[in-house]
Amino acid sequence: MTVGQSKSPLRNPARRVELVMEHLMFSSRWLLAPLYLGLLLGLIILVLKFFQEFWHLATTLSDATLQETTIGILEILDITLLGNLILIVIFSGYENFVSKINVALESEDRPSWMGKVDFSGLKIKLIGSLVAISVIQLLAVFLDPEMIDPDQVVWMIAIHLTFVISGVLFAVMDFIADKRAVIDLQVARQELELRILEENHRSAAQPEL
C-alpha cells in the first residue's frame, strides 16, 4: 500500500506535467551561463585594452608632463577597476543564479568573498565599483578641464552623485532587511520558548489530574 501511494503522484498526469515544468524552470538557470562566458570574453578584451593603454603611456613617458602621466595612470586604473567589477559579477552572479564553482572549493587561491556574496552584497559591491570608476573619471577631467565640455562635466557630477545616493539607499535597505530578519528570528524564538513552557506545564499538570 505504501509503494502504491508513493507511485500515485507520478501516475497523475497533472503531477507529471507539474514535475516537467518545475524541472524545466529549474534547468533554465543554465541559460545565464553563456552570458557569463560573454563577460569572460569581455574581460579578455579589457586586458588587451589595458596593455594598449599601458604601451601608449610607456612610449610617451619621456615627452609627457606630470599631468599627462597622471591622467594615463588613472586611465589604466579605471580599466583595472572595471575588470574587478566584471570578475565580481561573473563569480557572484554564476554562484548565486547558476551553480556552485566546485573547482575552486579546495583551491588555496579562492577569493575570501567567493561564495559569501549574496544578491544583496553583489548590489553593494557593484555600486561601490561604479562609484570608484566615476571618481577616477571625474579626477581625470579635473586634471585636464579642457578635454571635455563644461556641460558634460555637470552631467558627470550628477551621475556620480546618483551612484553615491543609490549606494547609500541600497545599504540602508539592506540594513532594514537584516534588522527585520533579526526581529523575526527573535519573535519566532520567543514563540517556540513559550510553546515549550506550555507543553511542560501541561505535562506536569496531567499526573495531578
Kindly report, residue by residue over 55-68, the tens digit of the pLDDT.
988 888 888 787 78
What predicted TM-score, i.e. pTM, was given to this entire model? 0.65
Angstrom CA distances, 103 to 33, 83, 97, 99, 110, stand at 16, 22, 17, 12, 10
175 burial class (0-12, 13-18, 19+ CB within 10 angstroms)? exposed
Strands (E), the chain: none
**Block residue for cell numbers 594615463:** 72
Amino acid at 76: I
Rounded to 5 degrees, φ, ψ at 48 are: -60, -40
Would the pLDDT of 34 be above 90?
yes
Kindly report, residue by residue over 100-146, the tens digit of the pLDDT.
888 777 777 777 777 777 777 777 777 888 888 888 878 877 777 77
More confident residue, 112 or 50: 50
**Block residue for cell numbers 586586458:** 47
Would the pLDDT of 26 be above 80?
yes
